[in-house]
Amino acid sequence: MKKYYLLSLLILTFLTSFSQRRSSSNTLSFDENLYNSIEYRLVGPFRGGRAGTVAGVIGNRNLYYMGTAGGGVWKTEDAGNSWECISDGYFGGSIGAVAVSESDPNIIYVGEGEQTLRGNVSSGMGMWRSNDAGQTWNFIGLPKSEHISRIRIHPNNPDEVYVGVIGNLWKPNEERGLYKSTDGGKSWKKILYVSDKAGVGDIILDPNNSRIIYAATWQMKRNGYRMDSGGPDSKVFRSYDGGDSWEDISEFNGLPSFPWGIVGIAISPVNSKRIWMMIEADDGGLYRSDDGGNNWKKVNSNRALRQRAWYYTRVYADTQNEDKVYVLNVSYGVSTDGGNTFTLKKCSPRRSS
């Protein structure tokens, strides 16, 4: 017992002495030669945060681009098994839209400022273009756009491009609207504007006639503690002349009563008369037209397809089957009967229990 007592006393004496020596100097110093060649490097995770926009390349099923909320633009050439950030050194941060030219896949347009308008949303500073599949980039304007929702490129002319601008989320501003360039982004013209409270949330070109365009405006406002989505300036417009003139179709037969919030639009490449709209409204849901947008019918009101509308509201038409339509939300919805019924699939890679 005496031995254990003496051992404990020795340990206590050592620790007290060590503590006193440490307290006599508050900092430790090292020779700078030991660390002046060290550089910081990223050790993970190797991705760019949430991704609100992706674009594929026709004819190459392994090549995709994605725009992220905090990491710029990324590229994969092996169907997503590996990714490379291709915007570093030119721009980065928040990306709202990415589009690849159908006629020349070397030409890519990118719009900054994410369009998933959550509480910790981040803005951007305009448009970029690459002529070499993302190896180099040039800034092409719209510096006050802040949040870009969609980019649509003419299928045969990569210099003709349409850009939907949401604008500043926190206050009214005249930068909102739909912009068009016919010279690859050297100059821009605002071709659709409703008010300083409503930006453009979606644009679609008729796959069979690019002069026919549908555009949805979105009245919204972001506050520090809430999101206001909807108002009298949320509407849908149609143009038959490439955006030179527009027709308000928001009160056409069969569409829900106002106010609306965000709207997503899709046109069937198989049959341009068939159009879908996912509409945020009290009587909202998925609406379909079978006569080119003149008359509409509500085909589905399932809440699973339209929850968190301000975050999702994406609808896509199948390229081979006019009855097949996809709706992206928390679940991934697929319909094979024109939108009347949907099979909901989990988007998470985790196994469901």
Q: What is the pLDDT of residues 200-217, one digit of tens each?
A: 999 999 999 999 999 999
| Residues 220, 229 contacting (CB under 8 angstroms) | yes
Please tell me the distance from the alpha carbon of residue 282 to that of residue 274, in angstroms, as a whole number. 24
205, containing H or E segment = strand 198-206
- Whether residue 46 has pLDDT greater than 80: no
Q: Mean pLDDT over residues 76-100, rounded?
A: 93
The winner for highest mean pLDDT among 88-97, 116-125, 130-139 is 130-139
- Whether residue 62 has pLDDT greater than 60: yes
**35 DSSP assignment:** T
Q: Per-residue confidence at 23, pLDDT binned at 50, 70, 90?
A: very low
pLDDT value, residue 19: 47
- Whether residue 2 has pLDDT greater than 60: no
- Whether residue 53 has pLDDT greater than 60: yes
Query: CATH homologous superfamily for 54-346?
Result: YVTN repeat-like/Quinoprotein amine dehydrogenase (2.130.10.10)
Please tell me the distance from the alpha carbon of residue 94 to that of residue 111, in angstroms, as a whole number. 9
| Residues 53, 96 contacting (CB under 8 angstroms) | yes
- Whether residue 348 has pLDDT greater than 80: no
Structure tokens at 268: 């069937």
What confidence tens digit (pLDDT) does each residue in 282-300 have? 999 999 999 999 999 999 9
- 266 against 7, higher pLDDT: 266
Please tell me the distance from the alpha carbon of residue 263 to that of residue 285, in angstroms, as a whole number. 10
Question: What SS3 state is found at 87?
Answer: coil
| Residue at token pair 């069937």 | 268
Question: pTM of the prediction?
Answer: 0.85
- Whether residue 137 has pLDDT greater than 50: yes
pLDDT value, residue 315: 97
Question: What SS3 state is found at 75?
Answer: strand
110, containing H or E segment = strand 108-112
- Whether residue 60 has pLDDT greater than 90: yes
Q: Mean pLDDT over residues 113-138, rounded?
A: 93
| Residues 113, 149 contacting (CB under 8 angstroms) | no
Average pLDDT, the chain: 89
Q: Mean pLDDT over residues 328-332, rounded?
A: 89
Q: Per-residue confidence at 198, pLDDT binned at 50, 70, 90?
A: very high
Q: Mean pLDDT over residues 41-50, rounded?
A: 60
CA angle 279, 258, 237 (to 5 degrees): 60
Give the domain ranges of the chain. Answer: 54-346
What confidence tens digit (pLDDT) does each residue in 86-96 have? 999 999 889 99
